[in-house]
Structure 1
Amino acid sequence: MSDISASWRRGLGRMTSILLAAALGAVAPGVAATAAGAHPPASTPYSFDNVKIGGTGFVTGIVFSQARKDLAYARTDVGGMYRWNGATGTWKPLLDWVDWDHWGYMGVAGVAASPSDAGRVWAAVGMYTNGVDPYNGAILRSRDRGDSWQATELPFPLGGNMSGRGMGERLAVDPADDKVLYLGAPSGNGLWRSTDGGARWSRVTSFPHTGDNPQTTGTAEDPGLVWVAFDRNTGRHGNTTKTIYVGVADPDDPVYRSTDGGTTWSPLAGAPTGYFPHRGVVDPVNHLLYVTTADNIGPFGGGKGDVWKYASTPGTWTQISPVPSSSGDNYFGYSGLTVDRNDPDTIMVGSQVSWWPDGVIWRSTDGGGTWSRIWDWDAWPNRKLRYTVDSSPNPWMTMGRQDEPPLYAPNIGQVISALEIDPFDSDRLLFNGGPGIAGTTNLTAWDAGDTFTITPMVDGLEEGAVQGLIKPPGGPLLSAMGDVGGFRHDDLDAAPDTIFTNPIFHTTRSIDFAERNPRVIVRAGDFNDADRPGDSHAAFSTDGGATWFQGTEPNGVNSGGSIAASADGSRFVWAPGDSGQPVVQSVGFGTSWTPATGVPANAMVIADRVDPMRFYAYDNGTVYVSTDGGASFTASAATGLPATNWGVRLKAVPGHAGQLWVAGGASWTSYGLWRSTDSGATFQRVSTVDTADNVGFGKAAPGRSYPALYVAAQVHGQRGVFRSDDAGRSWVRINDDRHRYGGLPEALTGDPDVYGRVYLSGYGRGIVYGDPARR
């Protein structure tokens, strides 16, 4: 840890304003600087782009600018923040500069956009409140729509990926004076205010509720104060807005109000109790507050809720639920909420969570007096849909399914927590459905009884959680993915036609290919056994991942673990992920599995890339070697490797029998990069690297025979992604401070066919690939 990083940690309770490296390339607190006396590693320019998938992650909030047409922002739970250009229909990532130390900034807990200055935008960032992230949260502020940022550290963490992350918006800017902002804090930290545009923050001591509630008090899952909403017609430009509402995740005390610009606060009389207030939106024309509620903070739990309308004059609450919680037909609760700025009598709400048969959206054009539903039941098992889906931009979003009424492919989405009508265009709607964000441009056809078209709107928004990447020689790029299983990419610039099927995994944990027979692919992953009894958690392909088949599996397997294919594709070794499951091997494609001997359960397994009978396993600092095709293993005498499985990668070198590399470790154990040239009998630490988190191999440089090495590492005090063309003797940094993607790549590999090309996963940023920049 550098001195700068240490001082950042020591200053967690101190609020500071820092200029981030994204803007000027300066070193910010917490960003590892070059160690004193060390020479920074050389660098070479690269260009980076996403392998196109589109979405796949959870978008937690959508905020339209009210100052400029065709401008909106999306926040995600682990993939950062994006800016939308409505004219082109594309999204631009805004937080790719986030470094290794501040990976938690990729979790965005709130977004606010100035209603008077289109350039000004703010983000509340921080991923966890449960101690996983050692840093506190921060408020980012920008004057150029997020192209550059300044940050103010907060004295508490934020939970962009915690329960309740679909509620909001907890960060809000005063429409009468955009120097004034409010932040609803989680975990009992109350209400905070800035009066200088977000540079300095202080707690609003007059706010009487800390945010604690009886159901979550004292836990990391306490979302606290979850939304702030202004009645903009109670303020004049240059003066603060007088009427402000705050939603508290306390079913017994859910809504507070100030009528004097935030000086004093009191519970809003008659506010509905019993449920959590997910979102609050004000219709400033009629001075109405709309609130959606559910019996769970979400985003993935809950089953009851209501929609309410509060009229400030005469101060009355009216329940306007499309399906009231008292009805036996209410099994979803409500979360997403929007008011049409051009016609404030038009409001829409979305189901908090509706797993079956699909999510639900309702629309009212009379302020909630009557509602129409995006789909209704027809003669069983059919449903009548008010919409059609054009999935051609992202054909994989059918998730490998065909229509089987009442289930239709693709879904519109089960958790509709972000739902926004464009303030400049009543026909345009964005919501967090489909592959991440879906929407329509002919929304008002709904009111005429006509069908409208929903399509994915995720061009440029890449939030996939990548578990592994392989690039067989001469073949496509194949990915192991969370939530969507994985993809085969024949074209890096086109979304694939389908996810991996037969079987479909919710998450693919491991993927491998036979180095000498690269059309043979194997993958292992997770799914709910009750959904597909008889399916295996391992699948095979003999055509490079175009089609798949499955064999048998050992009893008791429920999760994928790690799996490896021999160099010639004739046998496989599998370490299922279930606790205590033994390592097993199969001759052929999983027709039967035999327990291996001499290797611990749940060890990480890989194959030698040349010798088809040689496999390796890693467990807590010990390497195990098999020379009989995985039937038996023997522990190596090698020492000095990280005595943990956490964050450790063991990889074998293509074209070089018996050559292994180990990257990873942790601060409480050894942590670095090691190389073996004798099948794991001994390992030598690579002295040119301080610490390393991942390693991969690609096509050798011209005139060289050893593969190009790629590492995510710290070299001479500088963190980044590096390439070595001489087996690790020297390194060049290939990323820059604008392309750090939250630091640690879960997946990293080079291209065996294109020298210099590297594939990696950003922190929740999908698959990124880089090529040497053309000079």
Structure 2
Amino acid sequence: MARPRSQPRLASLASLAVTAALLLAASHAETASYPYQFSHVAVTGGGYITGLVGHPTEANLLYARTDIGGAYRWSEPDNKWIALTDFVSQADSNLLGTEAIALDPTDPARVYLAQGRYLASNASAFFASADRGASFAVHPAPFPMGSNELGRNNGERLAVNPFAAHQLWFGSRTQGLWRSDDYAATWTNVTTLPDAFANTMGIYFVLFDAARNGTVYLGGSTPGGLYVSHDGGASWAALPGQPTAWDSATLAAGHPPYSDGPQPMKAVLAPDGNTLYVTYADYPGPYGAQYGYVYKYATRGRTNSSSSSSSSSSSSPPPLWTNITPGTNNNSFPPPYEPQAFPGGGFCGISLDLSDPTGQTLVVTSLDRDPGPALDSLYLSRDGGATWTDIAQLSSPSGTGGYWGHPIAQAKLANGTAVPWLSFDWGDEWGGYGAPSPIYGLAKFGWWMTALLMDPSRPGHVLYGTGATIWATDNIFAAAAAATTTQSVAWYIQAQGIEETYVETMISPSSGPAHLLSGFGDINGMRHDDLFVPQPMFALPAFSNLDSMDWAGQLPSLVARVGDCGLNFSVYGACGQGAYSTDSGANWTMFAHCAPGINETTTDDGVIVIDAAGDVFVWSTLLAQQANGPWASVDGGATWAAPAGDLTAQTAFLAADKVQPATFYACESGTVYVSTDGGQSYNATPPASSGLPAGLQCATPVVNFHKAGELWLALGARGLYHSDDFGSTWTEVAPGLQANYFSVGKAAPARRDETAVALFLWGTVASAGPHAVDGLYRSDDGGATWTRVNDDAHQYGGPNLILGDPRVYGRVYIGTAGRGIVFGDIAGPASASGSVANVAGTQGI
């Protein structure tokens, strides 16, 4: 929902009283300390939702997990997802990824998170909460986790014993099965299973039978990987008769499956414990699955059958195993689209209607039917899989030719707020795993649709996650399968509050319609005309990763960007990896040619900067084989020239002066270089004669957007250095600074020097006394004094970069590696009313 326009906006002037207070405070203290309010720049999703879980007894208590952005709890009163893991520090950034979620079915207040992004890191932990995630006890785990590794789509690996709530079990990736008997504080390895799971995927799920004490099921990442224990884990046995081989009739000629047999991915138990439903694929996922099945197992059955029928006479038990895969034996409606292109995909997502005492109402999703046709589908069954309704097909407009999708008009929150970037500009398939729909006007129904939930308190409310967002409906049962009649399902976006983008670059021009332009991994970038409302994606060319942006200091409407898209645009006589805009990013023109070496095969397309007058583009390709400095163009990218002089490498540390034309700065191998002739040549100033410490690790020079030749270098533990003579000489700003990230913004109101700026630093400040901890700091007096801006609850796993706003005093943007873009404003009337609670929300400190 758009903000009421009668309320003041964050970028507007504060009240006279607040302005007077700022002036008074700034005049009596070098750097005034103010309370800050943190908000998210609204994208709404932007990353892979790996899991959704709901509490079986408490209404509206839902949780979501993501691969790199932590976990969230749905807040019905706030109508948004609440982030639970923003307290994770930069030092513990590997913990900002959720491998699994477990809820205590006997106590709705208890929630457990298994945290750890990568197996190569030695940092993983269990987060245990007794207050729905408002606070956590953090318990280090004795094994690695991998929320952003292969197989992250499966699960849940973590489960609470419903008959002994203090006991949790976890299926690890590399070290078997573990059990905790003290609410996840300590863990013991209890596996007696074969070492078939030592493939970095391990045990995908642990599933307790809530109807029978002592019965537990495990699903391992191998054919025949289903095990059961009926004595609380003292002994285990493989489930008899489980599918261990592929039916040759389901395989495509010339395309052998990746595994010798179906691998279990996810499973659910009927409420009475009598039926186990399992999805299968030939590859761990979330990408690469070619084949798959859906089966159900009669846990109290006595016979074995591959029949697709789910019914049996009252005098005989049901078959032990039943193949209920949608689309087989004409059991789905509408019928499967023909011809189904390879791959047909696997199956992964699955969820049950817990209010159905028969345990026969469920939904499943296919996995990796890409590039289509037909694409992935969501299926509904009300008879235990005997028949299915193809919800994706029914939800798509006619004539899509199997490319299922939502009309872009449905890409809105339930209150009508649009999420326009989900169109992906209908570009050609790119590195974002085929995210754009090939059908103009449709948002792709989904890909990586592995997070799937029938709301336990409202079964008609079904949510599914994708590689980008969460879709939901309140009337899944409207699509009742019948011989000739169906009713369409109404869909909307339910991802408000989830911000999972990986931020690659940001710029904040000194004027123009937007205070912020962003560049993301996977989803290109956006011009944020309104920080609280999702915006359209940049127009074509679309980049799967937008690597770098810049704006011309004296012509702020001129911006440029470079990134990778995996497409060859040479047939159009243009460079698809670089573009510029003369209207602040509303429209884009591709460079006539890319800088040498940049093409559809390059996956990191370097750094782009623009001189202050907007006459010269300089592009550093980062290609190690190029023994020359960054390429310069004075004709809009028609030609690119290598510079003369001292700089002989494609440096990552490049900046343009925002005041003096034709002036560029670079840092490479511990030396600062300056060009004053439009990038035609660079001259070096050796550290020994400049005042910089010897052997420094380079950083990008940060320029003053008001004053030519004023620069800062943030050198991590070596400190923060300042130059006001175009990099000829440098002085340390203050002792005891650890400057990991640095930026400048609008000066405090009391600063009368028109060239003054506020300084922002992420790191540590020794002079802060008890606040000398890793965090975000601001200085209003050139670095003589500092005040901490954030607190321990607002760390977001640390930044990829920070950026001051040249137009709003005190505002700073934090670009994260999985929690999107956060911006902090000095709290007060100018910022307190500037949020849409059900889109982005705010957090005051």
Common topology (TM > 0.5):
yes
CA shift at 1:261, angstroms? 1.8
Once the two structures are superposed, what CA deviation does each residue of 1:597-653 show, in whole Å capped at 9, x if it has no partner? Answer: 34334312210111111111222322222111012222321255686878x333222
Whether 1:663 aligns to 2:701 is no
Letter of the structure 1 residue corresponding to residue 558 of structure 2: V
1:508 partnered with 2:546? yes
- Contact 2:397–2:407 under 8 Å retained in 1: no
8 Å Cα contact 2:406-2:444 kept in structure 1: no
Moved more, 571-580 or 254-263: 571-580
Match of 2:263 in 1: 276
Q: After TM superposition, list the pairs within 5 Å mapping 1:514-593 onto structure 2.
A: 514-530=552-568, 534=572, 535-552=575-592, 553-557=594-598, 558=602, 559-581=604-626, 583-593=630-640
- Residue 289 in 1 paired to residue 265 in 2? no
Q: Quote the Cα distance in structure 1 between the aligned partners of 2:278 and 2:737.
A: 53
The one-character-per-residue Cα deviations of 1:649-702 (angstroms, maximum 9, x if unpaired) are 33222112122222245xxxx643222222222333333343221111110112
RMSD: 2.5
Partner of 2:147: 160
- The 1-side partners of 2:405 and 2:567 are apart by 34
**Partner of 2:354 in structure 1?**
341
Percent identical residues: 37
The 3-state SS of whatever aligns with 1:397 is helix
Q: Distance in 2 between matches of 1:749 and 1:671?
A: 21
Distance 2:522 2:341 in 1: 31
1:55-103 Cα deviation digits (max 9, x unpaired)? 0011111111113111111111111111112455311111111112111
Contact 1:649 1:664 in 2 (8 A): no
For residue 463 of structure 2, what is the aligned residue in structure 1? 430
Q: Classify the secondary structure of the residue corresponding to 1:400.
A: helix
Deviations 1:122-159 (A, max 9, x none): 000011102xx3x3311111111100010211112211
Assess if the C-alpha contact under 8 Å between 1:503 and 1:550 holds in 2. yes
Equivalent-residue separation in structure 2 for 1:512 and 1:506 (angstroms) = 18
Alignment-derived partner of residue 317 in structure 2: none
Tell me: CA distance 1:407–1:729, structure 2 relative to 1, closer, same or farther (3 Å).
same
- Cα deviation, 1:16-35, whole Å, max 9, x if unaligned, reads xxxxxxxxxxxxxxxxxxxx
DSSP-derived class of the 1:746 partner? strand
Match of 2:452?
A: 419
Q: Give the letter for the 2:455 counterpart.
A: D
8 Å contact kept, 2:47–2:467: no
Whether 1:122 and 2:112 are equivalent positions in the alignment is yes
Match of 1:336, SS?
strand
Q: Residue 207 of structure 2 is aligned with which of 212, 224, 229?
A: 229
Note the alpha carbon deviations across 1:456-502, whole angstroms, 9 max, x for none. Answer: 11111111111111111133111111111111111111111x10112
**Aligned positions of 1:576-615 closer than 5 A:** 576-581=621-626, 583-598=630-645, 599-604=647-652, 605-615=654-664
Name the counterpart of 1:691: 738
What CA distance in whole angstroms lies between the structure 2 residues aligned with 1:531 and 1:74? 39
Name the SS for the 2:444 alignment partner.
Answer: coil
Alpha-carbon distance between aligned partners in 2 of 1:588 and 1:346, rounded to the nearest angstrom? 64
Aligned to 2:534: 495
Q: What SS does the corresponding residue of 1:299 show, helix, strand or coil? A: coil
Change (3 A) 1:680 1:141: same
Q: Is the 8 A contact 2:611 2:662 kept in 1?
A: yes
Aligned to 2:473: 440
2:401 equivalent to 1:382? yes
Q: Which residue of 2 aligns with 1:317?
A: 321
Q: Which amino acid aligns with 1:538?
A: G
Residue correspondence of structure 1 range 240-255 to structure 2 within 5 A:
241-251=213-223, 253-255=224-226
Deviates more, 1:116-125 or 1:523-532: 523-532
Q: 2:758 is aligned with what amino acid?
A: A
Q: Deviations over 1:343-375 (max 9, x none)?
A: 321222212223224432222222122223234
Is the Cα contact below 8 Å between 2:546 and 2:564 reproduced in 1?
A: yes
CA contact (8 A) 2:404 2:445 kept: no
Tell me how far 1:258 sits from its aligned partner: 0.6
Query: Structure 2 counterpart of 1:682, which letter?
Result: T
Structure 1 residues 528 and 341, CA gap change in structure 2 (3 angstroms): same
Contact 1:374/1:386 (CA < 8 Å) preserved in 2?
no
- What residue is the counterpart of 1:201 in the other structure? 187
Q: 1:102 is matched with which residue: 92, 96, 108? A: 92
Matched, 1:738 2:793: yes
Q: Distance in 2 between matches of 1:533 and 1:79?
A: 39
- Return the match for 1:724 from 771, 775, 779: 779
Structure-2 separation of matches of 1:385 and 1:164: 25
Deviations 1:517-539 (A, max 9, x none): 11111111110125896442111
Compute the displacement of 1:303 (Å): 1.2
**What is the rounded CA distance, in whole Å, between the counterparts of 2:591 and 2:291 in structure 1?**
42
One-letter code aligned to 2:70: G
Letter in 2 for 1:364: S
Is 1:772 the equivalent of 2:822? no
Tell me whether 527-536 or 630-639 shows the greater mean CA deviation. Answer: 527-536
Q: Aligned with 2:639: secondary structure?
A: coil
Q: Which residue of 1 aligns with 2:310?
A: none
Counterpart CA distance in 2 for 1:300 and 1:151 is 31
Q: Which amino acid aligns with 1:291?
A: V
2:99 and 2:547 map into 1 onto residues whose CA distance is: 28
Normalising by the residue count of structure 2, what TM-score does the alignment of the two structures yield? 0.80
Alignment of 1:35-50 (within 5 A): 44-50=34-40
Contact in 2 for aligned 1:709/1:723 (Cα 8 Å): yes
Gap regions ≥5 residues in structure 2: 1-30, 245-260, 303-319, 330-339, 413-417, 428-435, 767-771, 830-845
CA distance in 2 between partners of 1:76 and 1:126 (Å): 11
- Return the alpha-carbon distance in structure 2 between the equivalents of residues 386 and 508 of structure 1: 25
Q: Name the structure 2 match of 1:34.
A: none
**Inter-partner Cα distance in structure 2 for 1:662 and 1:538:** 27
Q: Which amino acid aligns with 2:168?
A: L
How far does residue 768 in structure 1 lie from its aligned partner after superposition? 0.6
Three-state SS of the structure 2 residue aligned to 1:718 is coil
- Please report how far the alpha carbon of residue 228 of structure 1 lies from its aligned counterpart in structure 2 after TM superposition: 0.6
Contact 1:438 1:458 in 2 (8 A): yes
Q: Distance in 2 between matches of 1:617 and 1:82?
A: 41
Deviations 1:395-432 (A, max 9, x none): 22111228976576211221111111101112111111
- Does the CA-based 8 Å contact 1:211-1:223 persist in structure 2? no
Checking the alignment, whether the CA contact within 8 Å between 2:95 and 2:123 is kept in structure 1 is: no
**Residues 386 and 674 of structure 1, relative CA distance in 2, 3 Å threshold:** closer
Aligned to 1:362: 379
Check whether the contact 1:480–1:507 (CA below 8 A) recurs between aligned residues. yes
Write the distance in 2 (CA, Å) between the matches of 1:395 and 1:336: 26
Distance 1:406 1:478 in 2: 28
* SS of aligned partner of 1:568: coil
Q: Which moved more, 1:342-351 or 1:148-157?
A: 342-351
> Compared with structure 1, are the counterparts of its residues 630 and 385 closer, same or farther at alpha carbon in structure 2 (3 Å cutoff)?
closer
Aligned equivalents of 1:699 and 1:139: distance in 2?
Answer: 41
Alignment partner of 1:444: what SS? helix
AA aligned opposite 1:502: L
Aligned to 1:682: 729
Range with bigger deviation, 403-412 or 447-456: 403-412
